[in-house]
Protein backbone atom coordinates (compact mmCIF):
# COMPACT_ATOMS: atom_id res chain seq x y z
CA UNK A 1 0.00 0.00 0.00
CA UNK A 2 1.35 3.39 -1.01
CA UNK A 3 0.28 7.04 -0.92
CA UNK A 4 -0.23 8.06 -4.55
CA UNK A 5 -1.03 11.55 -5.84
CA UNK A 6 -3.02 11.71 -9.08
CA UNK A 7 -2.88 15.06 -10.91
CA UNK A 8 -5.24 15.39 -13.88
CA UNK A 9 -7.72 18.09 -14.87
CA UNK A 10 -10.10 15.46 -16.28
CA UNK A 11 -12.53 14.32 -13.57
CA UNK A 12 -13.33 11.21 -15.61
CA UNK A 13 -9.68 10.18 -16.06
CA UNK A 14 -8.82 10.91 -12.41
CA UNK A 15 -11.77 8.79 -11.33
CA UNK A 16 -10.76 5.91 -13.60
CA UNK A 17 -7.13 5.94 -12.41
CA UNK A 18 -8.06 6.39 -8.74
CA UNK A 19 -10.55 3.51 -8.78
CA UNK A 20 -7.89 1.15 -10.20
CA UNK A 21 -5.41 2.25 -7.55
CA UNK A 22 -7.92 2.03 -4.67
CA UNK A 23 -8.87 -1.51 -5.68
CA UNK A 24 -5.17 -2.36 -5.45
CA UNK A 25 -5.13 -1.04 -1.86
CA UNK A 26 -3.41 2.31 -2.34
CA UNK A 27 -4.26 5.56 -0.55
CA UNK A 28 -5.05 8.27 -3.08
CA UNK A 29 -4.72 12.03 -3.12
CA UNK A 30 -6.29 13.92 -6.03
CA UNK A 31 -5.52 17.28 -7.61
CA UNK A 32 -7.46 18.77 -10.52
CA UNK A 33 -4.71 21.11 -11.68
CA UNK A 34 -0.94 21.42 -11.69
CA UNK A 35 -0.58 24.08 -9.01
CA UNK A 36 -2.73 22.15 -6.51
CA UNK A 37 -0.83 19.00 -7.39
CA UNK A 38 2.52 20.65 -6.77
CA UNK A 39 1.32 21.98 -3.40
CA UNK A 40 -0.05 18.56 -2.42
CA UNK A 41 3.18 16.82 -3.44
CA UNK A 42 5.24 19.23 -1.34
CA UNK A 43 2.94 18.97 1.68
CA UNK A 44 2.29 15.19 1.65
CA UNK A 45 5.44 13.56 0.21
CA UNK A 46 3.56 10.84 -1.67
CA UNK A 47 5.29 7.61 -2.63
CA UNK A 48 4.47 8.23 -6.29
CA UNK A 49 2.83 10.88 -8.50
CA UNK A 50 0.75 10.12 -11.58
CA UNK A 51 0.21 13.18 -13.74
CA UNK A 52 -1.16 14.38 -17.02
CA UNK A 53 0.88 16.65 -19.28
CA UNK A 54 -1.74 18.92 -20.81
CA UNK A 55 -3.51 20.87 -18.08
CA UNK A 56 -4.48 24.52 -17.77
CA UNK A 57 -2.17 26.74 -15.75
CA UNK A 58 0.78 24.54 -14.84
CA UNK A 59 1.31 21.61 -17.19
CA UNK A 60 2.83 18.26 -16.29
CA UNK A 61 6.29 19.11 -17.64
CA UNK A 62 6.47 22.14 -15.33
CA UNK A 63 5.36 19.97 -12.39
CA UNK A 64 8.11 17.43 -13.06
CA UNK A 65 10.70 20.20 -13.29
CA UNK A 66 9.42 21.95 -10.13
CA UNK A 67 9.49 18.77 -8.06
CA UNK A 68 13.02 18.02 -9.26
CA UNK A 69 14.09 21.63 -8.53
CA UNK A 70 12.74 21.20 -4.97
CA UNK A 71 14.82 18.00 -4.67
CA UNK A 72 11.71 15.98 -3.84
CA UNK A 73 12.63 12.40 -4.64
CA UNK A 74 9.15 11.35 -5.72
CA UNK A 75 8.84 8.97 -8.67
CA UNK A 76 6.59 10.47 -11.35
CA UNK A 77 4.59 8.53 -13.92
CA UNK A 78 3.14 10.52 -16.80
CA UNK A 79 -0.28 9.36 -18.02
CA UNK A 80 -1.01 11.16 -21.28
CA UNK A 81 -3.01 11.08 -24.50
CA UNK A 82 -0.01 12.64 -26.28
CA UNK A 83 1.59 9.79 -28.23
CA UNK A 84 4.45 11.75 -29.79
CA UNK A 85 7.86 10.19 -29.20
CA UNK A 86 9.34 13.68 -28.63
CA UNK A 87 6.96 14.24 -25.71
CA UNK A 88 7.79 10.84 -24.19
CA UNK A 89 11.50 11.59 -24.55
CA UNK A 90 11.13 15.04 -22.98
CA UNK A 91 9.28 13.57 -19.97
CA UNK A 92 11.97 10.95 -19.42
CA UNK A 93 14.78 13.50 -19.80
CA UNK A 94 13.11 15.71 -17.15
CA UNK A 95 13.04 12.76 -14.76
CA UNK A 96 9.75 10.90 -15.20
CA UNK A 97 10.03 7.24 -14.17
CA UNK A 98 7.63 6.14 -16.93
CA UNK A 99 5.19 7.40 -19.54
CA UNK A 100 1.98 5.52 -20.31
CA UNK A 101 -0.84 6.30 -22.70
CA UNK A 102 -4.40 7.27 -21.81
CA UNK A 103 -6.61 5.58 -21.09
CA UNK A 104 -4.30 3.39 -19.02
CA UNK A 105 -4.87 -0.35 -19.07
CA UNK A 106 -5.30 -1.64 -15.52
CA UNK A 107 -2.57 -4.31 -15.80
CA UNK A 108 -0.05 -1.91 -17.33
CA UNK A 109 -0.77 0.83 -14.78
CA UNK A 110 -0.42 -1.47 -11.77
CA UNK A 111 2.66 -3.18 -13.19
CA UNK A 112 4.47 0.14 -13.72
CA UNK A 113 3.43 1.49 -10.31
CA UNK A 114 4.65 -1.68 -8.58
CA UNK A 115 8.00 -1.49 -10.41
CA UNK A 116 8.43 2.21 -9.57
CA UNK A 117 7.50 1.67 -5.90
CA UNK A 118 9.89 -1.29 -5.63
CA UNK A 119 12.73 0.81 -7.07
CA UNK A 120 11.91 3.65 -4.66
CA UNK A 121 11.86 1.27 -1.70
CA UNK A 122 15.27 -0.07 -2.72
CA UNK A 123 16.67 3.46 -3.10
CA UNK A 124 15.31 4.54 0.31
CA UNK A 125 17.22 1.81 2.15
Please check whether residue 41 lies inside any domain of the structure.
yes
Q: What is the pLDDT of residue 123?
A: 64
**Residue 90, in any domain of the structure:** yes
pLDDT at 32: 95
Q: Is 89 domain-assigned? A: yes
pTM summary value:
0.93
Residue 98 counted as domain residue: yes
CATH of the domain at 60: 3.40.50.2300
Count of structural domains within the chain: 1
Confidence class for position 57, pLDDT limits 50, 70, 90:
confident
Q: Are 3 and 26 in contact (CB under 8 A)?
A: yes
Residue 31 is part of which domain span?
3-120
Q: What is the pLDDT of residues 27-43, one digit of tens each?
A: 999 999 999 999 999 99
Residue 125 belongs to some domain of the structure: no
Amino acid sequence: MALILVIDDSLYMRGKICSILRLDGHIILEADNGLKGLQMASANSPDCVLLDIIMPGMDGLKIIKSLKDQHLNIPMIVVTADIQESTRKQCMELGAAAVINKPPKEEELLSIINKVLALKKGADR
